[in-house]
Amino acid sequence: MVDAVAAFVAWLGASVVVLADGRRGLALGAAISVAGMAVVALDAAGPEAAASVALGGVVAAAGRLRSGRGGWHIMPAGSTPRLVLCIAAALLALWIAAALTTGPAAPLRFTAMVVIGLSGARVLGADEPPILFTAIGLLALAIALAAGIGQIAPTPWPFLAAAVIAGLAGWISPRTVAAA
Amino acid sequence: MLQPEAVELVILAAAALAFAVAFSPPAASRRELLGKGGVGVVGAAAIAAVPTFEGTLLALLALGVLHSIIGGKRPLAVRLRGPVVAVTLLGLGAFFARVQGPEVMERFAAVGLVAGLAAGVGVLPYLHPIDPDEPLVSSPVVWLAFAGPVLAAVIVQRAQSLLPVDAAGAFGAMLIGLGLINVVWGGAAAWLTESEAVAWRYSFVADWGLVLCGLGLIVADGQRAAIVMLFSIVLGRLPLYLVALHAPHEKVVTGRPVNLVVAAALAGSAPFAGFAARLLLLRAATQLFWPLAIVLAAGMLLWLPGSLRLGRSLGLPKGRQAVGVALVLAVNVAAGLYPLPILLAAHL
Amino acid sequence: MPSAAVVAPVVLPILAAALIAAFGIAGVSLGRTAAAAGAWSSAVALVAVWLPVRSSLELLLGQLGYGSALDLRVDGVSFAFGLMIVLPAAVLLTLQPRTWPEASISLLGVGAAMAAVEAGGVVLTAIAGGTAATVAVVLLETEDPAAPRPSWALLLAGWLALSLVGVILQVGGGTAVYSAVPVATVTAALFALLAASALLASCLLPWRMWPSKLWSRPSLRAAGISIATLYPLGFYLLVRAYELGDGHYPSPFFNVLLAVIGLATAFAAAGRAQAAATRREFFGEVIPGLGGFALAAVALGTPLGLVAGLVILATASAFVACLALLPDRAGLASMVTVAAAVGLPPSIAFGGRVLGIAATFEAGEFLGLVGLAGAAAWATWMVAGARAIGLPGGRGHPASETFPRVAMFIAAGTLLAGPAIAAFQLGFANPVAAEVMRSSAASLGGGPTSVITVSSVLPAVTLFAPLLVIALVAYSLSTTSAIKTQARLPLFKLPSFAAVDQARAALRSATVPEQYRSILNVRELEAAAAGGGMVLWLVALVALAFAVTR
């Protein structure tokens, strides 16, 4: 039950990232999603993995607050297709995770699939660097989560690496991009 | 354990970087090449060295982010799109490979892996947008000719352990299908497109078509063909592209000997490495499905008109660049006549 | 003789090329001496390897990596074809002045062609032959980019087809080595591919292709070398095909088909020759004409036919050097060359054609008709030659490249060599037949003075020597001063190819109708594919998923 709620939270956070254009909205979405993913990771891969996800996500969310368009800008005008995408992705992922595939870790499957899918779609559809790097951070963490599927005792190394990537990506700002 | 093909391709990438640094004309761009290229080599090595599939994806993601933030003429979103979509699709592919469910999941896994590979490298249908004036270090050619070969070797090898037999067959078939599309499109576009920079990109795409066909032909000769083809991309086409980038844009109507010899090398004529790769590919196709060999042989003729054009784009190399071109051609002749060391190094 | 010696004919010209290039880059031109040394040393090495043993000598080193080992062999076939390649090239490299890049590239071409005929298997021949073709194109473009040259695509297609034959033999039979391929592997389909590649490699086709067109170049330095190195290679493949099939082609149909193609080539060349406007145009058809007759003879499938074909080919190779050195003006050299080219008795060309026609009658059935048609083509050549004596010379070539006395010497040599045809057959052509037609080569007999076949005897010395005397007497009594060069009407007009040219022009200028351009706009299609659009990428993914679930 806890995992199911956590999976829902992860989806919710990823959806906020998809629907938000402002730095606060992005940071909030990242934080919510990471919280959900950390709980799922705790069950799937242990406390080290969960701690890595949580830390990476917090650092990424903190970094996001520093740069990007000011304010929340959640569901701005013209974001209806993105909303449809979030709902459709959730339904599809739910069907696959709960009905089509078998095995005990349905929340893990749902979380990995939906966050990977929504993050990738967000990168495909966005132009602004803060949005792109926020989505990339989530993507990295979801990839690490996917490593736990089908394994009895996943190692924490992918989660650590993903946390580093997510944390660093959250601090890349347009000034960093221009300087490079 | 490190995969021998991937290690070899990392070494080749490093050699290509050394060539670029040694033979690139302006001193300033050499420093930039060394710095940014060095990061690319390290990233490619990381992709090869990481023991898990997810680790590979994370390394790819990190490399993609690094490549996108070094700047360039294309918008950041465009530069990021390819590697991120690749990671997404590969991640989903690995997901579908691991979950327990109906057989169709395995096929979706194959789709994800193939599509992710195509997106990561930048071939059809996931061509990375190109700006003709973009510097080499930030252009999509980096994925086509520098990091892409290592990525392909790793992905294909990991896919073979992820996918069951039936899905592995679908994986191979899709690679061959995509390969043929890239052969035809790349070959025709390299000939007909207006911009020379774009023509060079398509020539890489056409070569990748043969690589994908080789990777999809699940016999030893197919893998051998792919590795020799990748050699000719990294240590043949890429250095020549670098020379062409810095050639003065004079209107070269006639072909000097060097332009024609370069055209022959780019077209995969004997005795260059591209011909040896084609031989191995035809062997592999004949073993599995001989009509494919006929189609491939016919498709190989498409390289010629584009290569003549690209050969002329080098102009008349002088001084250090002439030495560089001669070195590239000599290496490719040696590899074309005697590819065995390349294959042995890759344990093929 | 150590087996390593077989590499000498291949390596020596390549080493000479490297030396010339190295000195050339340093600003020192080694001139004709180095080029000549490279080519003649290859010829000498070939003879030195073959003559002491007169049997196959093979060098087998390790695997190369594509299913073939480095396998070089000097046997009767490679000896004969090697001489046909290297001797005319050596003559041209000795006499004609060249820049150092041209000399270097020419020697590379010679080395590659020698490697093609010394290769022990189909795959290596394809690699070496493809290299020779590429080098020839580079040489021709280097000399004069605006002048006619072979279609690179056509040459590449031929050698690529041979590569495919090689890999099919490797996969199907386990090997592509000429002497080891299981006969059952050489199916009709495979042979068709091999024959197609041979025809493309030498352009043995009835219409006017590069073996004719190259002779119209302003300079014949590169043309001579290119034809010397490339033209024999297609015939080489057809001769080796007998070895692959244990002395036979897979079906008599192929013998007939190739003989008919050869005949058509010879006849078409004769038709163009008799309609030539200048003597240079006439000479441009000599090599394709001889090649057509040679193909018709080689394709017969009998030892006599093979021998006749080789005699004609050897004559053609002599003419490559002769025609490249001949100036475009009237004179004795020109007249002697015309006489030798059309096969006036008792030239060796005459002897070869006589043997070829005899071979068709011995082969019997439909091939006998081929012999009759061959005689008709020969008669057309005679008419063309008679007409050509009075034609204007042609555009002319730089005087430094032409050596009329040497050209005349070569042409006269082929005329005088007629009585020695039996000896030529014994020493040059019989070893080839013995190599590739082991089971039936014994049907050829005779000695240095006569050719003995299954059904006839040709006493070459007895017949040809008096003919030679008669010919010399006839020439001495005739006056050539009355011959005035002028435009002459052809015996028959060639069918107009205007319709073909019109169709070609229409195809080139074809455009998509205005109302469909928005659908078939290639630029927009390319922009869409390369634009990185989200929709396209998603659609592609869906398409892949759909395809894989079917």
Q: Is B70 on the interface with A (CB under 8 A)?
A: yes
Chain C contacts of A124, Cβ < 8 Å?
A: 534, 537
Against chain B, the chains showing at least 3 CB pairs within 8 Å are: A, C
Q: Which conformational region is residue A151 in: left (phi greater than 0), alpha (psi within -120 to 50 degrees), or beta?
A: beta
What number of other Cβ atoms are within 10 A of residue B341's Cβ? 11
HSE (CB half, 13 Å, CA atoms) of B185?
24
In whole angstroms, what is the distance from residue B190 CA to residue B170 CA? 29
Q: How far apart are the first and last CA of chain C?
A: 64
Interface of B with A in 78-107 (CB under 8 A): 80-81, 84-85, 87-89, 91-92, 94-95, 98-102, 105
Per residue in C415-432, pLDDT (tens digit) is 888 888 888 888 888 888
Contacts of residue C355, defined as CB under 8 A and 6 or more positions apart, other chains included, come to: C297, C304, C307, C308, C311, C421, C425, C451, C458
Which amino acid appears at position C25 of this protein?
A: I
In whole angstroms, what is the distance from residue B338 CA to residue B342 CA? 9
Q: Is A152 on the interface with C (CB under 8 A)?
A: no
Give the distance between the most distant pair of CA atoms in chain B. Answer: 63
pLDDT > 90? residue C499:
no
Residue C280 structure tokens: 């240079």
C62 SS3 class: strand
Query: Is the ipTM beyond the 0.95 threshold?
Result: no
Which of B254, B278, B339 shows the shortest C-beta gap to C65?
B339
Q: Which residue of A has its CA nearest to C533?
A: A124
Q: Which residue of C has its CA nearest to B265?
A: C134
| 8 Å CB contact between B329 and B258 | no
Q: What residue segments make up the domains of chain B, in order of their start?
A: 4-345
Task: Calculate how close chain C gets to A121, using CA atoms only, in Å.
Answer: 9
Q: How far apart are the first and last CA of chain A?
A: 46
Q: Is A5 on the interface with B (CB under 8 A)?
A: no
B100 SS3 class: strand
Q: Which residues of C touch A (CB under 8 A)?
A: 534, 537
What separation in angstroms does the CA of C360 have from each of C263, C305, C375?
12, 7, 11
- pLDDT at residue A76, as a whole number: 86
Task: Calculate how close chain A gets to B143, using CA atoms only, in Å.
Answer: 18
B60 vs B195 pLDDT, higher one: B60
Q: Which residues of A9-20 are buried (b: 16+ CB within 10 A; e: fewer)?
A: bbbbbbbbbbbb
**What H or E segment, with its residue span, contains residue C460?**
helix C460-477
Q: Average model confidence (pLDDT) for chain B?
A: 89
Please report which confidence band the pLDDT of residue C500 belongs to, taking 50, 70 and 90 as the band edges.
Answer: low
C59 SS3 class: strand
Instruction: Look at the block and give the residue holding tokens 């997510």.
Output: A166
| 8 Å CB contact between C414 and C340 | yes
Which of A124, A132, A147 shows the shortest C-beta gap to B76?
A132
Percent share of chain C, pLDDT over 90: 52
Residue B203 structure tokens: 């020539």
Instruction: Look at the block and give the residue holding tokens 């979706």.
Output: B108
User: In this complex, do C541 and B129 lie within 8 Å of one another by their Cβ atoms?
Assistant: no
User: In this complex, do A157 and B84 lie within 8 Å of one another by their Cβ atoms?
Assistant: no
User: In this complex, do B69 and A158 lie within 8 Å of one another by their Cβ atoms?
Assistant: no
User: In this complex, do A162 and B58 lie within 8 Å of one another by their Cβ atoms?
Assistant: yes
In whole angstroms, what is the distance from residue C4 CA to residue C322 CA? 34
Chain A contacts of C537, Cβ < 8 Å?
A: 124
- pLDDT at residue C122, as a whole number: 96
Residue C454 has φ and ψ, to the nearest 5°, of -60, -45
Q: Average model confidence (pLDDT) for chain C?
A: 87
In whole angstroms, what is the distance from residue A111 CA to residue A11 CA? 7
Per residue in B187-221, pLDDT (tens digit) is 989 988 888 888 999 999 999 999 999 999 989 99
| 8 Å CB contact between B64 and B80 | yes
| 8 Å CB contact between B233 and B149 | yes
Q: Which residue of C has its CA nearest to A121?
A: C534
Percent share of chain B, pLDDT over 70: 97
- Closest to B49 (Cα-Cα) out of B86, B83, B7: B7
Q: Is A81 on the interface with C (CB under 8 A)?
A: no
Residue B63 structure tokens: 């490399």
Residue A102 has φ and ψ, to the nearest 5°, of -120, 170
HSE (CB half, 13 Å, CA atoms) of C96?
32
User: In this complex, do B80 and A123 lie within 8 Å of one another by their Cβ atoms?
Assistant: yes
pLDDT > 90? residue C145:
no
User: In this complex, do B58 and A146 lie within 8 Å of one another by their Cβ atoms?
Assistant: no
Per residue in B87-144, pLDDT (tens digit) is 999 999 999 998 888 888 888 999 999 999 999 999 988 988 888 888 888 888 889 9
Against chain C, the chains showing at least 3 CB pairs within 8 Å are: A, B
pTM: 0.91
Which of A101, A161, A172 shows the shortest C-beta gap to B58?
A161
User: In this complex, do A136 and B58 lie within 8 Å of one another by their Cβ atoms?
Assistant: no
Please report which confidence band the pLDDT of residue C497 belongs to, taking 50, 70 and 90 as the band edges.
Answer: low
What is the rounded (10 degree) CA torsion for A75, A77, A82, A84?
90
| 8 Å CB contact between C374 and C353 | yes
What separation in angstroms does the CA of C365 have from each of C359, C362, C372, C506?
12, 9, 12, 44
Task: Calculate how close chain C gets to B340, using CA atoms only, in Å.
Answer: 4
Per residue in C272-328, pLDDT (tens digit) is 998 888 889 999 999 999 999 999 999 999 998 999 999 999 999 999 999 999 998
| 8 Å CB contact between C33 and C20 | no
Instruction: Look at the block and give the residue holding tokens 């490297």.
Output: C18
| 8 Å CB contact between A180 and B70 | yes
Among B171-180, C317-326, C399-408, C540-549, where is mean pLDDT lowest? C540-549
Among B251-260, C172-181, C375-384, where is mean pLDDT lowest? B251-260
User: In this complex, do C529 and B286 lie within 8 Å of one another by their Cβ atoms?
Assistant: no
Among C212-226, C385-399, C489-503, where is mean pLDDT lowest? C489-503
Interface of B with C in 154-193 (CB under 8 A): 170, 174, 177, 185, 189, 192-193
Contacts of residue B152, defined as CB under 8 A and 6 or more positions apart, other chains included, come to: B117, B121, B211, B215, B226, B230
Q: Is B337 on the interface with C (CB under 8 A)?
A: yes
Interface probe with C: pick from B283, B333, B343, B348, most Cβ of C within 10 Å: B283
DSSP C106-173: HHHHHHHHHHHHHBSBHHHHHHHHHHHHHHHHHHHHHH-TTS----HHHHHHHHHHHHHHHHHHHHHH
Q: Which residue of B has its CA nearest to A125?
A: B77
DSSP C2-57: -GGGGGHHHHHHHHHHHHHHHHHHTT---HHHHHHHHHHHHHHHHHHHHTTT-S-E
Please report which confidence band the pLDDT of residue B249 belongs to, taking 50, 70 and 90 as the band edges.
Answer: low
Sign (positive/negative) of CA torsion C41, C46, C51, C52?
positive
In whole angstroms, what is the distance from residue C544 CA to residue C527 CA? 21
How many CB pairs lie under 8 A apart between chains B and C? 149
Q: Is B39 on the interface with A (CB under 8 A)?
A: no
| 8 Å CB contact between B271 and B256 | no
Task: Calculate how close chain B gets to A117, using CA atoms only, in Å.
Answer: 7
DSSP C154-176: HHHHHHHHHHHHHHHHHHHHS--
In whole angstroms, what is the distance from residue C9 CA to residue B344 CA? 30
How many CB pairs lie under 8 A apart between chains A and C? 3
- pLDDT at residue C493, as a whole number: 66
Angle of CA points B230, B232, B236, to nearest 5°: 135
Task: Calculate how close chain A gets to B85, using CA atoms only, in Å.
Answer: 6
C70 SS3 class: strand
Q: Are strands C451-452 and C445-446 parallel, antiparallel or unpaired?
A: antiparallel
| 8 Å CB contact between C138 and C131 | no
- pLDDT at residue B27, as a whole number: 61
Interface probe with A: pick from B98, B104, B108, most Cβ of A within 10 Å: B98
Task: Calculate how close chain B gets to A92, using CA atoms only, in Å.
Answer: 13
Q: Which residue of B has its CA nearest to C135?
A: B261
Residue C456 structure tokens: 């006839």
Instruction: Look at the block and give the residue holding tokens 């607050």.
Output: A65
Angle of CA points C430, C431, C435, to nearest 5°: 115
pLDDT > 60? residue B254:
no
Give the distance between the most distant pair of CA atoms in chain C. Answer: 90
- Closest to B44 (Cα-Cα) out of B87, B12, B20: B12
Interface of A with B in 68-97 (CB under 8 A): 96
Chain A contacts of B71, Cβ < 8 Å?
A: 177-178, 180
User: In this complex, do C537 and A124 lie within 8 Å of one another by their Cβ atoms?
Assistant: yes
Please report which confidence band the pLDDT of residue B24 belongs to, taking 50, 70 and 90 as the band edges.
Answer: confident
Q: How far apart are the first and last CA of chain B?
A: 16
Angle of CA points C243, B291, B284, to nearest 5°: 75
User: In this complex, do A126 and B54 lie within 8 Å of one another by their Cβ atoms?
Assistant: no
Contacts of residue C272, defined as CB under 8 A and 6 or more positions apart, other chains included, come to: C208, C212, C281, C285, C494
Please report which confidence band the pLDDT of residue C124 belongs to, taking 50, 70 and 90 as the band edges.
Answer: very high
Q: Could you say which residues of chain A have pLDDT below 70?
A: 151-153, 174-180
Contacts of residue A91, defined as CB under 8 A and 6 or more positions apart, other chains included, come to: none
Chain A contacts of C534, Cβ < 8 Å?
A: 124-125
C277 SS3 class: coil
Per residue in A153-167, pLDDT (tens digit) is 678 888 999 999 999
Task: Calculate how close chain A gets to B108, using CA atoms only, in Å.
Answer: 12
Which of B130, B170, B287 shows the shortest C-beta gap to C548?
B170
pLDDT > 80? residue C463:
no
| 8 Å CB contact between B213 and B281 | yes
C548 vs B105 pLDDT, higher one: B105
User: In this complex, do C65 and B127 lie within 8 Å of one another by their Cβ atoms?
Assistant: no
